[in-house]
Amino acid sequence: MLEVKHLEKSYQKDKPALTDINFSVEPGTFVAIIGPSGAGKTTILRSLNQLIKDDGGQILLDGGDLRTANKTQLRGYRRQIGMVFQNYNLVERLTVIENVLHGRLGYKSTLAGMFGRYTEAEKQEAMTLLEKVGLEEFALRRCSELSGGQKQRVGIARSLIQHPKVILCDEPIASLDPASSQTVMQLLKDLTTEFNIICIANLHQIGLAKDYADRIIGIRHGKMVFDEDSDMLSEEILETLYDQNVTEELN
Amino acid sequence: MQTPVNYLARKHWKQTGTIVLIGSIYLLSSWILKFDGVGGIAAIPKAFSWLGVNFKPTANSVHFLPSIWQKLIGTVMLAIASTVVASLIAILVAILGSKVTGGSSLVQTIVRGIASFFRNIPLVAWAMILLFSFKQSDFTGFLALLLMSVGYLIRAFMEIIEDEASETMLALKATGASYFQVIFQAVLPQIMPSLISWILYMIENNVRDATLVGILTGTGIGFVFDIYYKSFRFDAAGMTVLSIIIVVIALEVLSNQIRKVIL
Ligand SMILES: Nc1ncnc2c1ncn2[C@@H]1O[C@H](COP(=O)(O)OP(=O)(O)O)[C@@H](O)[C@H]1O
Ligand SMILES: [Mg+2]
C-alpha cells in the first residue's frame, strides 16, 4: 500500500507548488491524477520516488517512509517503483532489450551494472516482458528506430522488469497519437490488475482518465480538489477543474 | 503600449542600426590602422600569381616527396595522439563538471574556470611557454595541442551531457541504479555519437594546427616547411603545402563518412 500524508513542496518561498496532499492507494488500483498544467502533477509524481526533494510530510510504501530513507535504502525503494515518462527517456542508441534490462540495474552490483552483465534469467524475463507488450520481434532493434507508441511500451517493459509495487507515469500518452494512446492505456490497466500493482498516471485527457482509471484525483494550484472512484464522477464535475471561474472561487 | 506593428517597426530600425554600426566600426578601424581595403583587394591577383609562379612544385621537387610524407605522417599521428588523450581527460572532467552529472556547484565552477583558462591561451603561446621546459621536441607540440584541445573539449562535452543525457539519466536514477551505473549505461552511450563527432573535428583541426606548432618546436612537417622556405626552395615548400592540403581534405572527407555512419 502507498500512503501519502501531508505532502508539501515549494520551489520558491511563499509560492507553494503542493499543499497538504493526502491519499492512499491499494495494490491493483489504477489512479489518474488530472489537472491543468502547472497544477503540480509532475511535482507529486517525482516526490513519490524522491527525484524531487519535497519539504514535508510522509510517503509510506508498505509502511516504510521513503522521505527519511538513507541513500542505500532509497535505492531499495526506487527499484520497487517503476517510472514511465512522456518522452520515454530511453537510451536511443541502445537496443530495445538493453533498455528493458536497465530496469534491473537497481538489483545489481555496481560493476555488473556498469558493464551490463545480466543473468540468463534476467534476459529471459526481458524477452517474456517484450512479448507481453507486443515487441518480441524488436528486441535487437535500436530504440531510435521505433515509433512513439513502441518506445512507450519499451518504457513500460523497463519498469515491469523492476518487479515494481508502484508504477508512476508522467503524461505517458501526451506525445502519442490516439490509437497508440488507447493501446498504452489499455496495457497499463491490464498490467495493474495482472501484477496487482499500483499505477499512478498524470493525464490531461479527462475522457481517457474516466475510461481506464479506477480512481481520479483532481489537482489545482497544488491542492487536491477531489479524490473519487472514476464512475462516481461526471464529466461535468471533472471539467470544472479546468474552469477559470471555479478556480477563482476556490481561492 | 507594445503593439505588434510598433514591435516590428522597432525591430526593423534595430536591424538597420546594427548594419550602420558595423559599417562605421570597419571604417573607423581601417582609418586608425591606415589600412587601405580597396588597395589591398586590388593587390590580391598579383600576390596570388606570384605565389602560383614561385611556389609551384616542379618535376624537380618530386624527390622531396618521401621526406615530406614521412614527416607529414608523423605530424598527423601527433595530432591524433594528442586529441585522443585530450578526449579521455576531457570526458572525465566534463562528467565531474556538468550540471547534470557533476559534483557540487563549487566543483562545477572550478571545472568551468579550468576549461576556459586552457581554451583562452592561444596555441602559439602554449607552444612558446612549453618550449622553455621541454625544448624543441615532438613532446612540446603534443602537450601544446593537448592543453588547448582539453580546454575546448571539456566545454563541448559538458554541453553535450547537459543537452542530451539529462532525461535518460533521470529515468535510470528512478530505477534505483547507482551513479556509476547511470554514467556507463545511460550517459556515455547516449552522448557517444556527438562525442565522436567532436573528437573527429578536433583531429582535423589539430592536424592543421600541428603544422604551425611544428614551425615553433622545430619538429614535424612544420619544420620541413620552415627549412625549405628559409633556404628559398620555394618549389619544395609549395610541395609541402600541397601535401598538407591533400591530407587535411582527405581527413575531412574521411571523418564526414564516419559521422554519416555513426549518426
Ligand atoms: N524546477 C522548478 N523550479 C521552480 N518552479 C517549478 C519547478 N518545477 C515546477 N515548478 C512550478 O511548480 C508548479 C507545478 O509544476 P508541475 O508539477 O510541473 O505541474 P504539472 O506537472 O501539473 O504541469 C508550477 O507552477 C511550476 O511552474
Ligand atoms: Mg507535468
Query: What is residue A244's predicted lDDT score, i.e. its pLDDT?
Result: 63
The yes-or-no verdict on residue A119 having pLDDT over 90 is: yes
Average of pLDDT values for A69-92? Answer: 95
In this structure, the answer to whether residues A53 and A173 fall within a common structural domain is: yes
In this structure, the answer to whether residues A30 and A54 fall within a common structural domain is: yes
Q: What is the pLDDT of residues B147-173, one digit of tens each?
A: 999 999 999 999 999 999 999 999 999
Residue A211 lies in a domain: yes
- In short, whether A11's Cβ falls inside 6 Å of ligand 1 is yes
Contact B181 A49 (CB under 8 A): no
The CATH number linked to A32 is 3.40.50.300
CA of A17 to the centre of ligand 1 (A): 7
Q: What is the pLDDT of residues B178-229, one digit of tens each?
A: 999 999 999 999 999 999 999 999 999 999 999 889 998 888 899 999 999 9
Q: What is the pLDDT of residues B110-156, one digit of tens each?
A: 999 999 999 999 988 989 899 988 988 889 999 999 999 999 999 99
In this structure, the answer to whether residues A29 and A126 fall within a common structural domain is: no
Report the domain count for chain A: 2
Q: Of B171, B174, B190, which has the smallest distance from its Cβ to A93's Cβ?
A: B190
- Residue ranges of alpha helices (H) inside B165-187 are 166-174, 179-182
The yes-or-no verdict on residue B2 having pLDDT over 80 is: no
Please state, in angstroms and rounded to a whole number, the distance separating the CA atoms of residues B113 and A208: 51
Pick the residue from chain B with its C-alpha nearest to A159.
Answer: B175
- In short, whether A34's Cβ falls inside 6 Å of ligand 1 is no
Per-domain boundaries in chain B: 4-53, 60-262
Q: What predicted TM-score, i.e. pTM, was given to this entire model?
A: 0.86
Residue A14 lies in a domain: yes
Residue A86 lies in a domain: no
Contact A75 B174 (CB under 8 A): no
The yes-or-no verdict on residue A102 having pLDDT over 80 is: yes
Backbone conformation region of residue B232, classed left if phi is above 0, alpha if psi is from -120 to 50, else beta: left
Is B167 in CB contact (< 8 Å) with chain A? yes
Polymer length of chain B: 263
In this structure, the answer to whether residues A170 and A251 fall within a common structural domain is: yes
- In short, whether A47's Cβ falls inside 6 Å of ligand 1 is no
Determine the 3-state secondary structure of B66 from DSSP.
Answer: helix
Q: Is B27 exposed, middle or buried (0-12, 13-18, 19+ CB in 10 A)?
A: exposed
Cα A210 to the center of its chain, rounded Å: 17
Domain coverage including residue A44? 1-80+166-177+191-251
- Which distant-in-sequence residues (6+ apart) come within 8 Å of A182 by Cβ? none
Q: What angle do CA A112, A117, A119 make, to 5 degrees?
A: 110
Please state, in angstroms and rounded to a whole number, the distance separating the CA atoms of residues B118 and B112: 10
In this structure, the answer to whether residues A58 and A107 fall within a common structural domain is: no
Pocket test for ligand 1, best of A18, A33, A42 (most atoms within 8 A of CB): A42
Q: Which helix (H) or strand (E) holds A228?
A: strand A223-229
Between A and B, how many CB-CB pairs are < 8 A? 83
- In short, whether A41's Cβ falls inside 6 Å of ligand 1 is yes
B185 DSSP assignment: I
CA of A42 to the centre of ligand 1 (A): 7
- Which distant-in-sequence residues (6+ apart) come within 8 Å of B67 by Cβ? B224
Average pLDDT, chain A: 93
Ligand 1 nearest-atom number relative to CA A35:
22
Average of pLDDT values for B99-114? Answer: 92
Q: Is B69 exposed, middle or buried (0-12, 13-18, 19+ CB in 10 A)?
A: middle
Q: Which three cell numbers, joined as nine digits, stand for B24?
A: 562605421
Query: What is residue B1's predicted lDDT score, i.e. its pLDDT?
Result: 63
- In short, whether A40's Cβ falls inside 6 Å of ligand 1 is yes
Q: How far is B194 from chain A (nearest CA, A)?
A: 12
Contact A102 B185 (CB under 8 A): yes
Determine the 3-state secondary structure of A176 from DSSP.
Answer: coil
Query: What is residue A246's predicted lDDT score, i.e. its pLDDT?
Result: 54
Query: What is residue A127's predicted lDDT score, i.e. its pLDDT?
Result: 97
- Residue whose CA is closest, atom 3 of ligand 1? A11
Query: What is residue A39's predicted lDDT score, i.e. its pLDDT?
Result: 93
Q: How far is A48 from chain B (nearest CA, A)?
A: 10
In this structure, the answer to whether residues A171 and A69 fall within a common structural domain is: yes
Please state, in angstroms and rounded to a whole number, the distance separating the CA atoms of residues B217 and B240: 17
- In short, whether A17's Cβ falls inside 6 Å of ligand 1 is yes
Query: What is residue B7's predicted lDDT score, i.e. its pLDDT?
Result: 87
In this structure, the answer to whether residues A61 and A7 fall within a common structural domain is: yes
Share of chain B above pLDDT 90, in %: 60
Average of pLDDT values for B247-263? Answer: 90
Q: What is the pLDDT of residues A181-235, one digit of tens each?
A: 999 999 999 999 999 999 999 998 888 999 999 999 999 999 999 899 998 888 7
Q: How many CB atoms lie within 10 A of CB B44?
A: 9
In this structure, the answer to whether residues A72 and A172 fall within a common structural domain is: yes
In this structure, the answer to whether residues A171 and A154 fall within a common structural domain is: no
The yes-or-no verdict on residue A251 having pLDDT over 50 is: no
Nearest CA to B200 among B192, B190, B188? B192
Whether the Cβ atoms of residue A113 and residue B181 lie closer than 8 Å to each other:
yes
Residue A1 lies in a domain: yes
Whether the Cβ atoms of residue B161 and residue B147 lie closer than 8 Å to each other:
no
Residue A234 lies in a domain: yes
In this structure, the answer to whether residues A16 and A76 fall within a common structural domain is: yes
Does the domain at B60-262 match CATH 1.10.3720.10? Answer given as yes
In this structure, the answer to whether residues A171 and A149 fall within a common structural domain is: no
Pick the residue from chain A with its C-alpha nearest to B192.
Answer: A93
In this structure, the answer to whether residues A170 and A54 fall within a common structural domain is: yes
